[in-house]
């Protein structure tokens, strides 16, 4: 652990030194002995403050504990533990200052959080914590930490810098899925739609035998039972009811970026994160997730907590790109046997530009099912997006953001890329 101590004079200390200088000047100019004695008495508290504060911080050990990832807007609780390694000297009025820094592409923003610990007994330790809220997704660095003490008189401040840095991921803000999402996904879970698909004979669970019928495959014949009964018997398997969902996230940005475009990217990331949480909560099906942006991402597997953690970790740092293509990796889904999969495309492009890409020759030449006809298109710039997702309990907040994005898209020609 790296440490470096620095001595500084507090604001009250400067007032105190001004009065001391005035007394010393009067004593020297007028040769008044009582003023010399008073100046000597006033110097003693400064020296004592300096020595006591330095001794208190010299043997203070510090540790920090925080979660690996939180969602934007959620409270972040950071636990701190301070240990006084001195056996005979208590530490009083210890101030902890943590530097919380957001790591951006071109710049970083820093904020300081202060925590005051009233006292640490000799040879003991104190546990405390602070709470803050981070509203911007991304990667954060917490630290280094500055431990400060100016006890007992507050004239001299001793600062000890401890090079302890922790890392935190902030995933997109969680929102509220609206009726279009519930109509599409939750009705399929209850069997109201035809997304359930019949798998092969070896994919389902065996549950009974029945007599052979014309058209049954010979692979399903149970030859041992057929020999005992003297007639052909075939195996029956359960029909799989697992739900398969593929979500393609298109984080596209125009060449001339505006604040509305940045809001659209954040809104798309929030919708994708909220949808992933909803699908991985109690779902035994399969989830395919593709993100097109500065760093393409493609992942598929059983809808589970490990898969959700992988998706949220990527969405925490995913960035948009003007070269993004919604199906750069998405058409790999055609090779996974997902003919009955529910396909959703979440894009930051204007609806008319999105339709042009979906109907272009580049998509029609890709092997597999006719994805554009089966695809549910969701543009965050479309006013209908409010029926899919809202960032708050009040859908009008999301609606106003979409109106701004639509007006911005109409002002300048969008590029397809």
3-class SS of residue 291: strand
Shared domain for 163 and 257, answered yes or no, is: no
Shared domain for 81 and 128, answered yes or no, is: yes
Helix spans in 151-258 (H): 179-181, 187-189, 223-229
By C-alpha distance, which of 219, 187, 222, 179 is closest to 203?
Answer: 219
Residue 99 belongs to domain spanning: 60-171
Q: How large is the average pLDDT for residues 7-32?
A: 92
Task: Quickly tell me which residue has 């001595």 as its tokens.
Answer: 7
Shared domain for 267 and 334, answered yes or no, is: yes
Shared domain for 89 and 181, answered yes or no, is: no
Shared domain for 161 and 183, answered yes or no, is: no
CATH number reported for the structural domain that contains residue 335 in this entry: 3.40.50
Cβ partners under 8 Å of residue 213, min gap 6 = 234
CA distance 212 to 218: 9
By C-alpha distance, which of 227, 417, 232 is closest to 322?
Answer: 417
Residue 199 in any domain: the answer is no
State the pLDDT confidence band at 358, using cuts at 50, 70 and 90: confident
Asked if residue 144 has a cis previous peptide bond (ω within 30° of 0), the answer is: yes
Cβ neighbours of 195 (radius 10 Å):
20
DSSP H or E segment with residue 250 = strand 244-250
By C-alpha distance, which of 129, 132, 133 is closest to 115?
Answer: 129
Q: 325-345: per-residue pLDDT in tens?
A: 766 555 554 444 455 678 888
Say what angle helices 305-317 and 259-280 make with each other, to 10 degrees: 170
pLDDT above 50 (res 32): yes
Q: How many domains does the chain have?
A: 3
State the pLDDT confidence band at 394, using cuts at 50, 70 and 90: low
State the pLDDT confidence band at 5, using cuts at 50, 70 and 90: confident
CATH number reported for the structural domain that contains residue 96 in this entry: 2.60.40.10
Shared domain for 121 and 249, answered yes or no, is: no
Yes or no: say if 117 and 137 are a contact pair by the CB < 8 Å rule: no
If 0-12 CB within 10 Å is exposed, 13-18 middle and 19+ buried, where does residue 335 land? exposed
The residues facing 65 across adjacent strands are 79
Q: 195-239: per-residue pLDDT in tens?
A: 344 444 444 555 577 888 877 778 788 888 888 888 888 877 654
Yes or no: say if 161 and 144 are a contact pair by the CB < 8 Å rule: yes
Shared domain for 127 and 267, answered yes or no, is: no
Q: How large is the average pLDDT for residues 371-380?
A: 78
**Rounded mean pLDDT of the chain?**
80
Q: 246-269: per-residue pLDDT in tens?
A: 888 999 888 888 888 889 999 999
C-alpha torsion sign, points 19, 25, 28, 30:
negative
Query: How far is residue 303 CA from its own chain's centroid?
Result: 19
Helix spans in 199-341 (H): 223-229, 259-280, 305-317
CA distance 317 to 86: 43
pLDDT above 80 (res 365): no
Shared domain for 124 and 220, answered yes or no, is: no
Greatest Cα pair distance in the chain? 130
Please give the pLDDT value at position 162. 87
Residue 22 in any domain: the answer is no
Q: Are strands 69-71 and 166-171 parallel, antiparallel or unpaired?
A: parallel
Please give the pLDDT value at position 193. 40
Q: 282-302: per-residue pLDDT in tens?
A: 666 788 888 988 888 888 888
Q: 122-171: per-residue pLDDT in tens?
A: 989 999 999 999 999 999 999 889 999 999 999 999 999 888 899 999 99
């Amino acid at each position: 652990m790296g440490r470096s101590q620095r001595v500084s004079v507090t604001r009250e200390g400067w007032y105190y030194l001004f009065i001391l200088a005035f007394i010393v000047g009067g004593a020297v100019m007028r040769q008044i002995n009582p003023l010399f004695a008073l100046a000597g008495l006033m110097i003693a508290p400064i020296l004592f403050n300096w020595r006591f504060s330095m001794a208190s911080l010299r043997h203070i050990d510090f540790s920090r504990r925080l979660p690996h990832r939180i969602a934007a807007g959620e409270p972040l609780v950071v636990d701190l533990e301070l240990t006084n390694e001195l056996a005979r000297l208590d530490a009083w009025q210890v101030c902890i200052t943590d530097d919380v820094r957001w790591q951006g592409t071109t710049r970083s923003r820093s904020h300081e959080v202060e925590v005051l610990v009233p006292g640490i007994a000799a040879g003991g330790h104190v546990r405390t914590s602070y709470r803050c809220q981070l509203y911007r997704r991304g990667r954060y660095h917490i630290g280094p930490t500055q431990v400060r003490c100016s006890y007992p008189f507050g004239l001299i401040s001793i600062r000890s810098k401890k090079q302890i840095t922790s890392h935190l991921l902030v995933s997109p803000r969680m929102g509220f899925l609206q009726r279009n999402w519930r109509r599409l996904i939750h009705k399929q879970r209850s069997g109201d739609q035809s997304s359930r698909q019949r798998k092969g004979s070896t994919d389902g669970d065996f549950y009974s035998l029945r007599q052979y019928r014309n058209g049954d495959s010979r692979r399903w014949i149970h030859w041992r039972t057929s020999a005992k009964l003297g007639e052909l018997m075939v195996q029956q398997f359960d029909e799989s009811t697992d739900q398969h969902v593929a979500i393609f996230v298109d984080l596209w940005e125009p060449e001339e970026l505006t604040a509305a475009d940045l809001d659209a990217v954040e809104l798309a990331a929030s919708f994708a994160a909220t949808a992933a949480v909803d699908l991985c909560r109690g779902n035994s099906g399969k989830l395919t997730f593709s993100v097109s942006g500065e760093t393409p991402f493609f992942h598929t597997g059983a809808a589970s907590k490990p898969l959700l953690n992988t998706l949220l970790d990527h969405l925490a740092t995913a960035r948009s790109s003007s070269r993004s293509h919604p199906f750069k990796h998405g058409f790999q889904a055609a090779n996974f046997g997902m003919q009955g999969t529910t396909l959703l495309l979440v894009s930051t492009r204007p609806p008319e530009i999105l339709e042009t890409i979906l109907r272009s020759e580049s998509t029609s030449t890709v092997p597999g099912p006719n994805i554009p006809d089966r695809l549910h298109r969701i543009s965050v710039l479309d006013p209908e997006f409010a029926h899919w997702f809202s960032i708050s309990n009040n859908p009008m907040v999301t609606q106003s953001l979409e109106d701004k994005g639509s007006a911005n898209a109409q002002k300048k020609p969008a590029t397809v890329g």
